[in-house]
Homo-oligomer: A and B are copies of this chain.
């Protein structure tokens, strides 16, 4: 049997292919010369499966798609405070190449506009790095996100350098505010090198999947950036990633995203998937025309919008019954599904409402699919309170979804692999 995913991708590519509106970027000859008909799309799952259709192995320059990743490297290398002191997180509602500095501090509004991205580049790697070392840090970092060693397109790089007047203007302005502290030309040079890194649509999808996968590259399994950085980067992408079309994107697509002037476009859906598309013709915002259409389709077809309310699932408490009789009676709550705050709250409520008369109480986690930190803490608090109320508590947890459970002060729990063990231990 063939997988349905490639078929789906092929179908959707076919649907958008006839749209030849827009124009490739033409501010340098190398971009203007791009084959405007190229079209590709890739899905990369958080466990490392990569599906693609179309031109997924053609290399093109990463351009602005490098911005969220370099911002992530800066946060990882320096911590949050020094980076936030120099680059804000507010949407500017302006085009990518506006200067957009805060009027008092000169701080760029966010890291997705050029001013912020140039600043973020200067913050990648330790402060002591020479400009070439910093470029190496960035290329290494991007390579870690992609899971393979990336290289630079020297021709594009040289050509960009000749047309870098606006970025030089921005960098000198940043220097005048001491947001940059190094030679502005060296920083712009490094930033242009960063933007000239060659990637394929496949690479971009893996990079996005690394963000979707809490910072761990799903192919190499390398942790590229810590989790709090991932959350920060995805948040900023969601409000500032699509420039002055941020609101349209947030409502119609709802996937944290970033586009590049060479035609690339990525989206990362936390915990689920990294997506990348490639089509060089751009709309007036500088976003790939067919890339935007593809993302609109993906979001609509697959319910990938972050504000999509998930389908209401089955009750987390699958059953609540008493096994055995008399002093041997065991109150068993069989839980199921994923347990976060909302589900844990329902378990708490069930226990409170039940006010079990039985001496022994078991929480059966066998069918629990996942549990997060707050869910675990809440369940353990239930255990503790049951203990304090005089109950003996069992956790049925064959696969150790809560490893080494510690209910804390005054709590006590017995972990068993099967509900029968709880029953038998009682009798």
Query: Of A153-161, A199-207, A368-376, A413-421, which binds chain B?
Result: A368-376
Contact B91 A273 (CB under 8 A): no
A109 to B244, CA, bound (A): 11
Using known A-B contacts A45-B342, A313-B338, A313-B370, determine if residue A349 contacts B307 with beta carbons closer than 8 Å.
no
Contact B270 A337 (CB under 8 A): no
Interface set of A (CB-CB < 8 Å, partner B): 1-5, 43, 45-47, 49, 88-93, 99, 109-110, 165-166, 168-173, 175-176, 184, 212-214, 227, 230-232, 234-236, 238-240, 244-248, 250-251, 254, 256, 270-273, 301-314, 316, 336-338, 340-342, 345-346, 348-349, 351-352, 355, 367, 369-374, 378, 381-382, 385-386, 389, 399, 401
Contact A399 B314 (CB under 8 A): yes
Picked from B5, B99, B346, B355, the residue with its CB within 8 Å of the CB of A99 is B99
Chain B residue with Cβ nearest A215: B309
A47 cross-chain contacts in B, Cβ below 8 A: 346
Picked from B1, B43, B305, B371, the residue with its CB within 8 Å of the CB of A385 is B1
A166 cross-chain contacts in B, Cβ below 8 A: 172-173, 176
A171 to B173, CA, bound (A): 11
A178 CB to closest chain B CB (Å) equals 9
How often does this chain occur in the complex, in copies? 4
A309 to B212, CA, bound (A): 7
A370 cross-chain contacts in B, Cβ below 8 A: 310-314, 337
Using known A-B contacts A231-B307, A312-B370, determine if residue A175 contacts B170 with beta carbons closer than 8 Å.
no
A313 to B92, CA, bound (A): 37
Using known A-B contacts A342-B46, A401-B314, determine if residue A90 contacts B89 with beta carbons closer than 8 Å.
no
A–B complex contacts, Cβ < 8 Å, 12 sampled: A3-B348, A3-B349, A43-B345, A89-B251, A165-B173, A231-B307, A234-B307, A236-B250, A271-B312, A306-B307, A311-B371, A314-B370
A230 cross-chain contacts in B, Cβ below 8 A: 307, 309
Contact B45 A346 (CB under 8 A): yes
A305 cross-chain contacts in B, Cβ below 8 A: 231, 235
